[in-house]
Structure 1
Amino acid sequence: MGGACSRKRDQDGSEENVRRSVSGRYSKSGSSKWLGTSFTRSNSDIQLRKGISPSLLELCVRKVREDIDDFLDKYKTFSMIPRDISQQIFNELVDSHCLNSELLEVFRDCDIEDICLGEYPGVADKWMDVISSQGSSLLSVDLSGSDVTDSALNLLKDCINLQALTLNYCDQISNRGLGHISGLSKLTSLSFKKNNAITAQGMSVFANLVNLAKLDLERCSGIHGGLVHLRGIASLESLNIRCCNCITDADMKPLSGLTNLKELQISCSKVTDLGVSYLKGLHKLVLLNMEGCLVTAACLESIAAFITLSYLNLNRCGLSDDGCGNLTGLKNLKILNLGFNNITDACLVHLKGLTSLESLNLDSCKIGDEGMINLAGLVHLKNLELSDTEVGSNGLRHVSGLANLESLNLSFTLVTDSGLRKLSGLTSLKSLNLDSRHITDTGLAALTCLTGLTHLDLFGARITDFGMNFLRYFKNLRSLEICGGGITDAGVKNIKDLSSLTLLNLSQNCHLTDKTLEVISGLTSLVSLNVSNSRITSAGLHHLKSLKNLRSLSLESCKVTAGEIKKLQSTALSDLVSVRPEQIS
């Protein structure tokens, strides 16, 4: 399904969609280390750009940042300034990437409460002396991606009121470092993502952290056997040990007594149906993420006891129809992910009563039109994922009444142009994915009443210049992908007034020339642009100078030189941080 021009999105990335409150973009290699956060701007910059009048305090803080050298020549330290103002100056310097180890020194003994330096370049042990000087005022510290070592953590021992400590991707922290934080008994949140040096032995320190409510050990490969040290932490509400392939059924036993646990993530572990059975007593569970675990539908017998559950992720588990009847009792479910399992239409019968569902993922399941009737009563559905299923145009008639639907993925299905007419009543729809060779200009014409669409993916659809005419109706589009190869510069003229576009993907349209860059030069909100596999040349790049917000530009298989790209970055597009390919020939 889908045809040669279609592409199946990265299925392995589905894990990253769960609880995205912590960045998953960090990379320790070269300049990409800062790519994940380089898109941020200070609050005052954002307000000025949007035309919002900043407060007097914000203007003063911004002025201090701009004239920081002159300020320090006169005052040397911020310790005499009220700490709330010192905090704002500190945040401004971080947001604007102006903070370094020398500037940090002026914040010594300023009683700052929050130090967020996650993924900030250059953070190392020498920064810790000033950070720890905040003493009992310090409440939260994020040093993710830094080069801080075990010995430097010892400096935090006097920060007795510290409540949140985040040390994700800190390669030089080990069991020894854990020992230095054992006295921080007021910690409520602790995170050590992707740390291979922490072992079960080191985790004995956690037994002293009796106020912990949130513990994140995602991708920590050596923690098997260490969860026994959590037994006495009655306050624990959230535990993330996803992508820890060392975790087995035996590790689930110590969790059975954590009766206040509300969120548990054990995806991509070796937990089986037996391990899930140890969790039956966790009656307060609201979120359970088991994606990729070695379970079968038999585990649902245990999960049926979690009547408060609102989020359940069983993507990529070995589920079949047998046992799915246990889903019927989970009346509070709002998000249910069953993608990439062997379930059929017979399983969907058990979803009829889950009327609280707001999001349902059936990606790549063995379902078709017949099962769609069971979804007709899920009137609160906002997100429906049907990608790579046997659902066709007939099945869409059961979806047509879901008036609250905001996101619908029909990529790689059997839906044709005629079926799209059944979607005309979904006026709440904001995101629609039609990556399919079955869709043509005719299908696009049937969607023109969906004027609220903000995201439209027609990656593999057979859209021509004629079909591009219909895009003028979608005035609110922020993201548009049309990569079927059938459009020319003339067709692109139809999107020149879509001023809200922030992402535009026109790759694989080999007839596009530099004229296209001229046409879209007025789309000044663009953040990401992909015109790969086209006839774009270096001569056309000057048309992009007006796109001051552009941060990502893809020009693969185009006649563009690295020198011209660098010139564009240095003279006009200072925010451009991602260019593919990295070495353009």
Structure 2
Amino acid sequence: MTGHVIGLNLHFGGLQGNIHSNSSLFSLGHLKRLDLSRNDFRGSPISSKFGGFVNMTHLDLYYSNFSGPIPSEISHLSNLVSLNLSLRDVRLDTLSFNRIVQNLTNLKELQLIGVDMSSVVPDSFKNLSSSLTTLRLSNCHLQGKFPENIFRLPNLRVLSLGFNNNLTGSLPNSNWSSPLETLTLSETRISVDWHRLTRNFKFLRALYLSNCNFVGSHLAFVGNLTQIMRLDLSSNSFGGQIPWSFFLNIESLVYLNLVGNNYVGQFPEVDSNSTLISSLYDFSKQQLVGPIPRHLTELILYDNQLNGTIPSWLGSLPSLEQLSLVSNQLSGNIIEFQSRSLSSLLLSDNNLHGLIPRSIFELENLTDLDLSSNNLSGTVEFEKIVQNLTNLKELQLDGVDMSSVVPDSFKNLSSSLTTLRLQNCHLQGNFPESIFHRPNLRLVDLSFVGSYLAFVGNLTQIIELDLSLNSFGGQIPWSFFLNIESLVRLNLGGNNYVGQFPEVDSNSTSISSLYDFSKQQLVGPIPRHLTFLYLYGNQLNGTIPSWLGSLPSLEGLNLISNQLSGNIIEFQSRSLKILYLNDNNLHGLIPRSIFELENLRYLDLSYNNLSGTVEVEKFSKLQSLFSLDLSSNHLSLSFNHLSNNSWPQLYSLALSSCNISEFPYLLRASPNLESLNLRSNKLHGLIPRSIFELENLTDLDLSSNNLSGTVEFEKFSKLQSLFSLDLSSNHLSLSFNHLSNNSWPQLYSLALSSCNISEFPYFLRASPNLDMLNLSHNRIQGEVPKWFWDVAKDSLYYLDLSHNFLTGTARHLRWKNLGYLNLHNNSLQGELPIPSPSTFFFSISNNQLTGEMPPTICSLTSLVVLDLSNNKLRGKIHQCIGNFSQSLSVLDLRNNKFHGVIPGTFSKGNILRNLDLNGNQLEGSLPPTLLTCRELEVLDLGNNKIQGTFPNWLESLPKLQVLILRSNKFYGEIGIPETKFPFQKLRIMDLSYNRFSGLLPTKYFEHLTAMINSQEHELKYMGEGYYQDTVVVTIKGFEIEMVKIQTFFTTIDFSNNTFRGEISKVIGKLKLLKGLNFSHNELTGTIPPSFGDMCNLEWLDLSSNRLFGDIPEQLVNLTSLEKFNVSENRLVGTIPHGKQFDTFDYDSYSGNVGLCGLPLSKTCGAHQPPPSSFQQEDELEHGNGFDWKVVLMGYASGVVIGISVGYFVLSNGTTDWLVKVIGRKQRCRNVEITQRRT
């Protein structure tokens, strides 16, 4: 290059590295035009040398990855006509901006998109050049009042102020004619007066007003914008009918975006000769009903609630170029398409089935085809895709059955292919390596396909590679990945990799963003040169390495849901924008450096053990912070120093379980707040007015507090943006009197559990978009009103009416898309209702249903949980019950009147986890197909009439933890194991009340690993988040229903059989055993002294056998023992005394004529020890009867202290009761329970 160069265009030139001050670029003194846009200068600063180009008229550094402050020397370029410094990590202060404004008087185009101008005073814009034609300031963090005179600049054609959330102001009121052609005010707080807008901006061709918080319909003046071509009114609160009469008068309109409003109604009928609205674009997330106009170029209707079939005439629209019906509820076959102009066909995430029509393979102009996530079947004519669709750029067929496709067919795919997704397509054979040589291929997703990593290194131009959700294991093959210079995003989530990250060279550009290594077992050092590090959902432990806080380029760190401990490290990187450390075991103080991360936008420290006092004011000084979550720690929060206007940018605040007793005053200082979560605190008194003044609020959770007083529900409905509200578990009195029928159409989620409601709120009739409704644990009684069955029948997904007093029938389940339905614990009668086939959770337990199980139960193919327990249902269990839903995890038919045999139709590959058929009248033998239930954890078949010998073949079920065969007709010897490691996970084994005989199964006892040692170190319960396992077991002589099963609860009950022979000392190895009951058998021999090693034993019942010899003194060491019964045997000698043995009464030893000593009246001679103080107290309190106390206590330790301490936690409130006691009443001093002697 020579010094006489006047123009240099290096746009998208592939330049990388720094531009140093001695660069030859700055020797080009005559340069007038310089374009360095779309290059990568690695975050280096903009050199002050740019100010030396005194002849420069056009300078473009758009998205060239510079960082730091814009040098003031730019203001020396006084001849500049066009300046584009749109950069993401660049700052511009008031002083530098004022110099630019003062010196660059010839500027016509000024573009600063993404530049941090948060410190620039809006008044600085007043002096901008009157010759300005283009001003783009989107996403610049501008705040304050924008000057009105900018709108009046005489030559201004383009003004873009969007995405400055704290920018206020208004349009000028005076009459004048603006030359503006493009105006963007999206996501600002600038007040828009429709009359002023349409009166003064008549030349507008593009108007973008997305998310401007408009309320109601203010579109009467839109028709005056006679030249408008592109109109974006998305994400506002417009409702009612779409005002087509306005739009159809605008002949120039080609782009209309009304996404994210509350419109209902039909499309218009567009005249076939009309050119207007040739592209009805982005009507997504509306409730549009009716015919689709027949003369369209683009039809994009993603994420609606369209159902039924795709209309056949849609395939014959002659001009159709783009069709997107993604994420609806469309069913039926895919129609034939005749339009040869179709270039984009997106039909994913529906319920379409059948074959892919041949006509699709003849759409020669097709560039994008997405048929994924449907139920398509049959043979895919993939060869025709290869032969005919030569222009394909994106091909997505996730979930399409391609098992018949020969992998070699992929060899000839279009060379223009950029995206290929074939997730879960059942492909078989060797995948052709040549597919990865496609020159334009940018994204490959072969999830669930198999192992194809041998040729990953050949993807020389790949930028994004997604291999998630496979079964890849071993070491991550970094030798392949690190040879791909272009790779910046790599997703290996959901595999089984172990090992260490590589050490990435500091000068390397490869893998600048190691993204989504989630759900791996990653061990070892984390590479030090990263932009984004996402490691959520792993098993990382230990402390966070300190060097991680000094990574200079780090923008996003996500360590959610690991096992990290220790203190939070200090963070020095000022580029950090995302910091997610929630759901770990971190403790200590929040480090000071976090309050200095000036670019931080999202901070989540919730669900840790952080402590100390936190001045919330410090967070408010982070001017970029949008979202803060400190929930569920041990912090003490102080709001004392927050001023009224201190936190305007905050839009999401979560402080649940933070011990807050008063509503924080900062709510008054956060007018833009959209999401507020104060759940599970100590808030009391009335809900303050300030809550109802948060006009932007979309999500409010005040549940589980002590709020009181009467609340006029109408106040919430006036929050026009509010779509999610949870007031559950307070002491509020809710009044629905003043709610009109049409007051809350935007309501999406409503939870009013435990709110003392006595009737169904009538306003629900006017909530057609309701997705989630929880009215559980109230006082609603009587029959469900007829109108309620039609509430949100097209949208309702979650409905919980449990724990009320509902009566009548529940036949009218009209909700088409219901996923969760809980009617548990009411008084509903009649036949079993059948919900929508889309339902995954259905509980109607604890009601009074009668009749047989209808065959339509077999249509619920999506069920995960089916709970029909505690009703009066009868008849046989349908054969389909074992295979009608491949996703079925819980089948609970306990305590009904079903008879016949257990269906033998459990299919291979099922995921059944809990099978509970207890308390019916089932007969026959166990079906051997139970062996296909490899995920089974709970098998409860107690209290039936099932016959046969012991099903020792169940010992091979790898996850079985609970086996209850109690009170059936099983017989014979148990025998010896048939496998090497039988019942390794078993923790509850109840074979009582059968006719088993022979010797005790010593070989089985030797292998009960879960009763010998355990990895459990904290209180956990069996089951899943939406369902808790329940069993009835005999504990210390009581029949107890455990509504939650603790994962370290262990018991063996072989009572009431005819076992004989001696008790093996091997049983003493079961150190984790809580209860052992061998009573009412024919056992002989002595009590093994090894029983003294079962240190966690709390009850031991060996009564009614033929045991002889002494009671071993070693049993005195069982300090947790509360119930001990050896009555009705042939034991002799002195009863041991001391510790727990001083608490047992006469009934524990009666019927043994050879025993002597207290508490028996028979003495052992002159050396009888005196009674203990424990025994004296017990006699004073209880007289001659044995009595038990149940008190409230934690059970984490498993050690019982004292003689009156019971066993379970009784939680406050609602569904978390752990104990129900069943049987005859017996007097008790503190708590009445029932007891059944066994």
TM-score (norm 1): 0.74
In the alignment, is the contact (CA less than 8 A) between 2:408 and 2:432 conserved in 1?
Answer: no
Amino acid at match of 1:116: R
- Aligned pair 1:148/2:450, yes or no? yes
CA pair 487-288 structure 1, distance change in 2 beyond 3 A: same
> Greater CA deviation, 553-562 or 284-293?
553-562
Match of 2:840 in 1: 552
- Aligned pair 1:505/2:799, yes or no? yes
Match of 2:387 in 1: 80
Match of 2:702 in 1: 410
Q: Give, in whole Å, the separation in 1 of the partners of 2:360 and 2:653.
A: 54
Match of 2:658 in 1: 365
Q: Give, in whole Å, the separation in 2 of the partners of 1:244 and 1:569.
A: 32
Answer 1 or 2: higher relative contact order, Cα 8 Å, separation at least 6.
1
In the alignment, is the contact (CA less than 8 A) between 1:295 and 1:319 conserved in 2?
Answer: no
Match of 2:627 in 1: 335
Match of 1:482 in 2: 775
Shift of 1:222: 3.3
Shift of 1:380: 0.5
Match of 2:486 in 1: 186
Amino acid at match of 1:161: Q
- Aligned pair 1:456/2:760, yes or no? no
User: Gaps (5+ residues) in structure 1?
Assistant: 1-41
Shift of 1:452: 3.2
CA pair 103-531 structure 1, distance change in 2 beyond 3 A: farther
- Structure with higher strand content: 2
Match of 1:165 in 2: 465
Shift of 1:204: 4.1
Q: Give, in whole Å, the separation in 1 of the partners of 2:534 and 2:427.
A: 26
- Aligned pair 1:136/2:430, yes or no? no
Shift of 1:536: 6.3
Shift of 1:316: 2.3
CA pair 360-86 structure 1, distance change in 2 beyond 3 A: closer
Q: Spell out, residue by residue over 1:112-146, the C-alpha distance to the aligned partner (whole angstroms, 9 max, x if none).
A: 4323344x26467x3633784563343112244x3
Mapping 1:295-334, distance limit 5 Å: 295=586, 298-317=589-608, 318-322=610-614, 324-334=616-626
Q: Percent identity?
A: 18
Mapping 1:68-467, distance limit 5 Å: 76-85=383-392, 87-88=394-395, 91=396, 93-94=397-398, 97-100=400-403, 102=405, 105-111=408-414, 112-118=417-423, 120=424, 122=426, 126=429, 128-129=431-432, 132=435, 135-144=438-447, 146=448, 148-149=450-451, 152-175=452-475, 177-200=477-500, 203-204=502-503, 210-225=510-525, 227=526, 230-231=527-528, 233=529, 236-246=530-540, 248-249=542-543, 251-254=545-548, 256-257=550-551, 259-267=552-560, 268-270=562-564, 272-273=566-567, 276-277=569-570, 279-280=571-572, 282-293=573-584, 295=586, 298-317=589-608, 318-322=610-614, 324-344=616-636, 346-347=638-639, 349-350=641-642, 353-369=646-662, 371-419=663-711, 423=716, 425-436=718-729, 438-440=731-733, 442-445=734-737, 449-465=743-759, 467=760
CA pair 463-82 structure 1, distance change in 2 beyond 3 A: same
Q: Spell out, residue by residue over 1:20-43, the C-alpha distance to the aligned partner (whole angstroms, 9 max, x if none).
A: xxxxxxxxxxxxxxxxxxxxxx98
Q: Report the 3-state secondary structure (helix = DSSP H, G, I; strand = E; otherwise coil) of the residue aligned with 1:216.
A: coil
Q: Give, in whole Å, the separation in 1 of the partners of 2:680 and 2:643.
A: 20
CA pair 512-431 structure 1, distance change in 2 beyond 3 A: same
Q: Give, in whole Å, the separation in 1 of the partners of 2:433 and 2:830.
A: 48
In the alignment, is the contact (CA less than 8 A) between 1:107 and 1:130 conserved in 2?
Answer: no
Q: Report the 3-state secondary structure (helix = DSSP H, G, I; strand = E; otherwise coil) of the residue aligned with 1:302.
A: helix
In the alignment, is the contact (CA less than 8 A) between 2:393 and 2:418 conserved in 1?
Answer: no
Q: Give, in whole Å, the separation in 2 of the partners of 1:285 and 1:132.
A: 38
Structure with larger Rg: 2
Amino acid at match of 1:407: D
Amino acid at match of 1:552: F
Q: Give, in whole Å, the separation in 1 of the partners of 2:441 and 2:853.
A: 49
CA pair 580-532 structure 1, distance change in 2 beyond 3 A: farther
Amino acid at match of 1:433: D
Q: Spell out, residue by residue over 1:507-550, the C-alpha distance to the aligned partner (whole angstroms, 9 max, x if none).
A: 425655673331x42x33545433344566894446x4xx46x3
In the alignment, is the contact (CA less than 8 A) between 2:727 and 2:751 conserved in 1?
Answer: yes
Q: Give, in whole Å, the separation in 1 of the partners of 2:433 and 2:547.
A: 42
In the alignment, is the contact (CA less than 8 A) between 2:747 and 2:767 conserved in 1?
Answer: yes
Shift of 1:178: 3.2
Match of 1:19 in 2: none
In the alignment, is the contact (CA less than 8 A) between 2:674 and 2:696 conserved in 1?
Answer: yes
RMSD, aligned α-carbons: 4.1
Q: Give, in whole Å, the separation in 1 of the partners of 2:490 and 2:674.
A: 33
CA pair 211-532 structure 1, distance change in 2 beyond 3 A: same
CA pair 527-106 structure 1, distance change in 2 beyond 3 A: farther
CA pair 121-80 structure 1, distance change in 2 beyond 3 A: closer
User: Gaps (5+ residues) in structure 2?
Assistant: 1-300, 324-335, 338-344, 348-353, 363-378, 863-883, 894-916, 918-1238
In the alignment, is the contact (CA less than 8 A) between 1:79 and 1:107 conserved in 2?
Answer: yes
Amino acid at match of 2:802: Q
Q: Give, in whole Å, the separation in 2 of the partners of 1:214 and 1:514.
A: 58
In the alignment, is the contact (CA less than 8 A) between 2:446 and 2:467 conserved in 1?
Answer: yes
In the alignment, is the contact (CA less than 8 A) between 1:426 and 1:450 conserved in 2?
Answer: no
CA pair 326-247 structure 1, distance change in 2 beyond 3 A: farther
CA pair 175-569 structure 1, distance change in 2 beyond 3 A: closer
1:517 to 811, 822, 838: 811
Q: Give, in whole Å, the separation in 2 of the partners of 1:250 and 1:44.
A: 40
**Number of corresponding residues:** 512
Amino acid at match of 1:170: N
In the alignment, is the contact (CA less than 8 A) between 2:535 and 2:558 conserved in 1?
Answer: yes
Q: Spell out, residue by residue over 1:469-512, the C-alpha distance to the aligned partner (whole angstroms, 9 max, x if none).
A: 34224344232122225335633423233234322413425655
CA pair 246-213 structure 1, distance change in 2 beyond 3 A: closer
Q: Give, in whole Å, the separation in 2 of the partners of 1:347 and 1:74.
A: 65
TM-score (norm 2): 0.37
CA pair 127-532 structure 1, distance change in 2 beyond 3 A: farther
Q: Give, in whole Å, the separation in 2 of the partners of 1:533 and 1:580.
A: 21
Shift of 1:103: 6.0
Q: Give, in whole Å, the separation in 1 of the partners of 2:700 and 2:303.
A: 36
Q: Report the 3-state secondary structure (helix = DSSP H, G, I; strand = E; otherwise coil) of the residue aligned with 1:242.
A: coil
1:496 to 789, 809, 818: 789
